Amino acid sequence: MEFFIDTADIEEIRQAKELGILDGVTTNPSLMAKTGKNTRKVLEEICALVQGPVSAEVLATDKEGILKEAHELVKIADNIVIKVPLISDGLKAVRVLASEGIQTNVTLCFSATQALMAAKAGATYISPFIGRLDDLSQTGMELIEDIVAIYQNYQFETKILVASIRHPVHVKEAAILGADVATIPFSVFDKLIQHPLTDSGLAKFLSDAKKIPLS
C-alpha cells in the first residue's frame, strides 16, 4: 500500500518524508488556500521535495478549460498528476489526458458508479472520500469495498486512492481491503505509529537495563 500525504504544507511534507515512508502528495484548492501562497510556487516546492506523484487540482469545470489548465500544470514537473472533479466534463478531459499519457486523479468520488465511470475514462487514480461519507452517517469504507470488487471484476488499472481519511482505523480498513493508496493528513501519520504500551514498555526496558552493567 502506498502512503501519500494530504496537505500543501511544505513543513508537514518535509516531516512525513523524513519518516521514510512517503510515496506521494495530494493537494486540493482548500489545502492550497491554507498556505496563503501562490499555487504554482507551492507545487514547485513540493515537486522539488517529493519524487512520487503530486496531485494538483484544476479549477475549470469545462472540458477545454480543464485541458488548458492541465497542460500548464504538467509543465511544473514530471511527477504532477492532474486532479479532476468527477463531473461529465471532467471525465471527458480525463479521456483526452489519458491518450496524451498524462496521469490523472479523479476526485470527489462518492459512489461506486462514479468510480466505474472514472475507470472507464482511463483515470490513473480514483479518490473516494470516505470521511465525508461517514460525516453523513453513511459508511465510507463500504464504498471502498465496492470499488475494490468492481475493479477486480474487470481488471481495471485505475488505482484506488482512499481520501478524506480521518483516523488510523480508516487506514487499517483500507489496507485490509487492498486499496492501492491512502492519502493521509499529517495529524494521522503520527497516530499510526503511537501506542501507549510501546511507550510504557520501552520506558521499563530502559530503566531495567540501567540495573545491570552493559558489559
> Measured from the CB of residue 163, what is the shortest distance to ligand E4P in angstroms?
3
Comparing CA positions, the residue from 184, 112, 116, 98 lying closest to residue 141 is: 112
Q: Do the Cβ atoms of 51 and 84 come closer than 8 Å?
A: no
| Residue selected from 26, 39, 114, 124 as contacting ligand E4P according to rule CB under 6 A | 26
| Sites for ligand E4P among residues 131-150 (CB under 6 A) | 131-132
What 8-state DSSP symbol labels residue 178?
A: T
Q: Name the minimum Å distance from CB 65 to ligand E4P.
A: 20
Q: Please state, in angstroms and rounded to a whole number, the distance separating the CA atoms of residues 41 and 124.
A: 25
Tell me the per-residue interface mask from 174 to 193 with ligand E4P, x by CB under 6 A, - otherwise.
---------x----------
Stretch that binds ligand E4P, among 13-21, 43-51, 126-134, 173-181 (CB under 6 A): 126-134
Distances in Å between the alpha carbon of 112 and those of 44, 109, 147? 34, 8, 6
Q: Specify the long-range contacts of residues 100-104, CB closer than 8 Å, at least 24 apart.
A: 102/70, 102/74, 103/53
Phi and psi angles of residue 168, each rounded to the nearest 5 degrees, phi first: -60, -30
CB of 102 to ligand E4P, least distance (A): 18
When the beta carbons of 107 and 124 are compared against ligand E4P, the nearer one is 107
Known active-site residue 17: no
The Cα 73–Cα 71 span in angstroms is 6
Q: Considering the complex, state which of residue 132 and residue 191 has its C-beta at the smaller distance from ligand E4P.
A: 132
Return the residue of 28, 39, 103, 158 that touches ligand E4P, per CB under 6 A. Answer: 28
Q: Determine if 164 is a binding residue for ligand E4P (CB under 6 A).
A: yes
* Closer residue to ligand E4P in complex, CB, 27/203: 27
Q: Minimal CA–CA distance to 82: which of 111, 100, 56, 107?
A: 56
Q: Closest distance between ligand E4P and the C-beta of residue 63, in Å?
A: 21
Find the binder of ligand E4P among 5, 118, 123, 163 (CB under 6 A): 163
Q: Which of 75, 83, 120, 172 is catalytic?
A: 83
SS3 106: strand
Spatial CB neighbours of 194, under 8 Å, sequence gap ≥ 6:
none
Report, as residue numbers or ranges, the catalytic residues: 83
- Point out which residues bind ligand E4P (CB under 6 A): 6, 26, 28, 107, 127, 129, 131-132, 163-164, 183
